[in-house]
Amino acid sequence: MSEITSRNLLRTCPLCEAVCGLELQLDADDHVTSVRGDKLDPFSQGFICPKGASFGQLDEDPDRVTEPLIRDRATDTWRTATWDEAFDYIAERFPPIVAEHGNQSAALYLGNPNAHTVAGALYVPVLIRALGTKNLFSASTADQMPKQVASGLMFGDPLRIPVPDLDRTDYLLMLGANPLESNGSLCTAPDFPGRLKALRKRGGKFVVVDPRATRTAKLADEHLFVRPGSDAYLLFGIVHTLFAEELTSVSVEANGLDELRTAALKFTPEAVAARTGVPAATIGRLARELAAAPTAAVYARIGTCTTEFGTVTQWLVDAINVLTGNLDVPGGAMFPEAAAGGITRTKPFRIGRWASRVRGLPEAMGELPVATLADEILTPGTGQVRAVVTVAGNPVLSAPSGARLDAAFAQLDFMVSVDRYVNETTRHADVILPPPRPVQSPHYDFALLQFAVRNYARYSPPLVPLGDRPSEGAVLARLGAALTGQPHTGDVLAMVDELIISGTLHKAGLADRRPELRGATSTEQRLDLMLRVGPYGEWNGGSLNLQVLLDNPHGIDLGPLRPRLPGVLITASRRVELAPEPLLDEVERMRARIGEAAPDYVLIGRRQLRSNNSWMHNVAPLVSGSNKCTLHIHPEDVAKLGLGSHAVVKSAAGTLTVPLEPTEAIMPGVVSLPHGWGHQDSEQTVARAHAGVNANVLTDDSIVDGPSGNAVFNGVPVTLIAT
């Protein structure tokens, strides 16, 4: 143990991917009384958004779960339990199910906040190992899995994801992202809006492709409406033009150039114009502008991932970055180098190492698509899922065909949720294990700093002691033991950490002269070790360790992104693969559908500034004003269909009645509903009073992106009927 005493009121905001520094005030009773942006944070420089400003209200939301809850199934009522009681109950109920029906009868679902917590990064793997099931699901297959699969196939590792070099690029083509509301994703950039304004100010060009004229689109030099789900066609039109007009200037070692050219042959701008809604001349011009700009980056996010050709879209994004000579160069798309938790993969990535039981959908990164979780629970047979563990997830609201999943959870033999609320998903649990308050948790962004537009590191120690409750890491470690019938009392967390620390030291050849690790907890010691052996680490020629981060509580700037090829490539060829085989099969499917007529109406999603998926609707200031669960629809469509204030929306999966919000900011023929609403069954009082509807009642879990199995939320055919 060390002499660390640092206890300050600074911490990283854990609420979205922008990792802003916050400056908090706590009163004598440890309540957060004010929140400001941390002006001295070198990365976020004082930026804060309305969610960050509500950090205090979230931290101590009066409706949050503070003690373990056990549900009485007969009466469907909850009682509080001690931690020992809760884990004993799990240890009694869960292992017999697996003993009788095998490992595959258990499933694990991991939600989005795991990407924002130390517990998610360091201790979720304990659960995965403990359960030993192939039924591993997460929000990733409702989100970025297409990007990961594309990166895995092109660069050999699904976590080597190039990010646009926002602060230096001369030309940014952005598809399906709205960072003015979301603050960005797979591109960690605090004050994303400010960085976009700076791009324009320095004479750069910024183009947005989106079926809605978003706030981001309004900030751009140019906005192009695109038919939902057609970005892969648009990007192929650009690839085609780059080849046809001999505009390519590949500057990295790459395989598959000829195959890519051949794949793009049929996708002339003229052939894809109708399908995309973007004129052929514009597609050609985009290609020429990308090729001519001194530096350029193409960036595409959730709007394009959650579509039927999501993986192809993500592949073509980076293919264009390569073809225009912009991969791995300053101002282009670059690979960040984080201080800790970087990748240790040695073998090239593959998809489909196994398949899901019911629909045969491919595994990716050890996970199965969340779009088939309901099938696995509802379909009888060997391997049917009977018990589920969820950690920081609300799939009833976030997964496609949410109503089906709701029904599926209701028929489980047993369910445990690690979560801070009783909500639409966790209400089905037998036991809820709550995490501590965010101010009681250590914070380090193991995941998000892998995608940062500047290399940067910041650690926030807990500000408020845990008292006699466990950290979230300790909850997960103990849960891992209880689920497998292992002894679950004592300091399971310390045992887990010790195993990992000694394993890491052994690998680094340091086991015999066991060096002292700093840190007030075994979790901090693990961070210390990861920093020391990391690329800026004190045991790796640098100077970084935990103490350095504690001494610099505003965070440390580690410099602009640097070129990293070919070193980061883990492909078998050690070259960039421009035409991965599994994706060429997708091209065939696309070709067959090039002339397909668009449905009359399709549904897409949208994000709202003062929201975060499903779990920030219980804070009054976050559910007012524009944050409403309404259907955006073009006024022409309202008139054409004779609609009033509401409409009945029907899809192949379900039906909803929704209030309409006519706006010219959306393309005719497209309607948009935000997800994460539909809180009728929640025990969050504010959220229930602003319930809204669950958009995922309409999305259809029977359709997925082929290579990644990712859910399809955008481009869902719907019909609209007057109420």
Ligand X SMILES: Nc1nc2c(c(=O)[nH]1)N[C@H]1C(S)=C(S)[C@@H](COP(=O)(O)OP(=O)(O)OC[C@H]3O[C@@H](n4cnc5c(=O)[nH]c(N)nc54)[C@H](O)[C@@H]3O)O[C@H]1N2
464 and 175 in contact (C-beta within 8 Å)?
no
Residues 232-291 that bind ligand X (CB under 6 A): none
Encoded one letter per residue, x for contact with ligand SF4 by CB under 6 A and - for no contact, window 127-166 reads ----------------------------------------
State the Cα–Cα distance between residues 611 and 346, nearest whole angstrom: 39
x/- mask, ligand SF4, residues 184-223, rule CB under 6 A, reads ------x---------------------------------
Which positions from 49 through 108 interact with ligand SF4, judged by CB under 6 A?
A: 49, 51-52
Does 682 help bind ligand X (rule: CB under 6 A)? no
Q: What is the CA 387 to chain-centroid distance, rounded?
A: 25
Residue 20 found at the interface with ligand SF4 (CB under 6 A): yes
Among 15, 209, 274, 718, binds ligand SF4 (CB under 6 A): 15
The length of the chain is 723
Closest contact distance (angstroms) between CB of 112 and Mo ion is: 5
Distance, CA of 288 to CA of 446 (rounded, Å): 38
SS3 162: coil
Distance of closest approach, residue 111 Cβ to Mo ion, in angstroms = 10
DSSP-assigned letter for residue 470: P
Segment near ligand SF4 (CB under 6 A); pick from 17-25, 372-380, 623-631, 635-643: 17-25
**Contact by Cβ (8 Å): 527, 340:** yes
What is the residue whose two structure tokens read 């240790």? 344
The answer to whether residues 256 and 578 touch, using CB atoms and an 8 Å cutoff, is: yes
Q: How far is the CB of 394 from ligand SF4 (least distance, A)?
A: 18
Q: Which of residues 85-124 bind ligand X (CB under 6 A)?
A: 111-113, 117
Q: How far is the CB of 72 from ligand SF4 (least distance, A)?
A: 37
Distance of closest approach, residue 285 Cβ to ligand X, in angstroms: 17
Among 93, 134, 160, 301, contact with ligand X (rule: CB under 6 A):
301
What's the closest the beta carbon of residue 302 comes to ligand X, in angstroms? 3
Indicate whether 630 belongs to the interface with ligand SF4 (CB under 6 A).
no
Give me the least distance between CB of 446 and ligand SF4, in Å please.
Answer: 16
Quick one: which of 140, 151, 169, 183 contacts ligand SF4 (CB under 6 A)? Answer: 183
Say if residues 712 and 306 touch (Cβ distance below 8 Å): yes
Residue 613: exposed, middle, or buried by beta-carbon count in 10 A (0-12, 13-18, 19+)? buried
**In the complex, least distance from residue 536 CB atom to ligand X, rounded to whole angstroms:** 27
If one asks whether residue 408 binds ligand SF4 (CB under 6 A), the answer comes out as no
Handedness of CA 662, 665, 669, 674 (dihedral sign): negative
Q: Is 19 in the site for ligand SF4 (CB under 6 A)?
A: yes
Of 531, 568, 489, whose CA–CA distance to 162 is shortest? 568
Name the token pair of 314: 């993500």
Give the residue, chosen from 435, 442, 519, 692, that forms a contact with ligand X under the rule CB under 6 A. Answer: 435
For residue 566, whether the previous peptide bond is cis, meaning omega lies within 30 degrees of 0, is yes
SS3 at position 265:
coil
The residue with its CB nearest to ligand X is 303
Calculate the dihedral angle through the C-alpha atoms of 507, 512, 513, 516, rounding to the nearest 10 degrees. 70
- By CB under 6 A, tell whether 394 contacts ligand X: yes
Binding flag, residue 229, ligand X (CB under 6 A): yes
DSSP states of 249-302: ---S-EE-HHHHHHHHTT--HHHHHHHHTS-HHHHHHHHHHHHHSSS-EEEE-H
Q: How many CB atoms lie within 10 A of CB 636?
A: 12
Instruction: Kindly state the number of chain residues that form the binding site for ligand SF4, as judged by CB under 6 A.
Output: 12
Q: CB under 5 to 8 A by kind: which of ligand X, Mo ion, ligand SF4, none does 398 bind?
A: ligand X
Residue 526 to residue 675: CA distance in whole angstroms: 36
Dihedral (CA of 196, 202, 203, 204) sign: negative
Token couple for 16: 């979205």
How many chain residues interact with ligand X (CB under 6 A)? Answer: 65
In whole angstroms, the minimum distance from the beta carbon of 689 to ligand SF4 comes to 23
Question: From residue 241, how far is each of 232, 234, 510 by CA, in Å?
Answer: 14, 11, 54
Binding mask 29-58 for ligand SF4 (x = CB under 6 A): -------------------xx-xx------
Note whether 339 and 535 are within 8 A (CB).
Answer: yes
> Are the C-beta atoms of 8 and 38 separated by less than 8 Å?
no
393 in contact with ligand X (CB under 6 A) = yes
Q: Is 193 left (phi over 0), alpha (psi -120 to 50) or beta?
A: alpha
455 binds ligand SF4 (CB under 6 A): no
Asked whether position 18 contacts ligand SF4 by CB under 6 A, the answer is yes
For ligand SF4, the binding residues (CB under 6 A) are: 13, 15-16, 18-20, 48-49, 51-52, 183, 190
For ligand X, the binding residues (CB under 6 A) are: 16-17, 111-113, 117, 139, 142-143, 175-179, 181-183, 185, 209-212, 214, 226, 228-229, 231, 301-304, 306-307, 391-395, 398, 418-421, 423, 435, 472, 604-609, 611-615, 675-676, 695-696, 699, 713-715
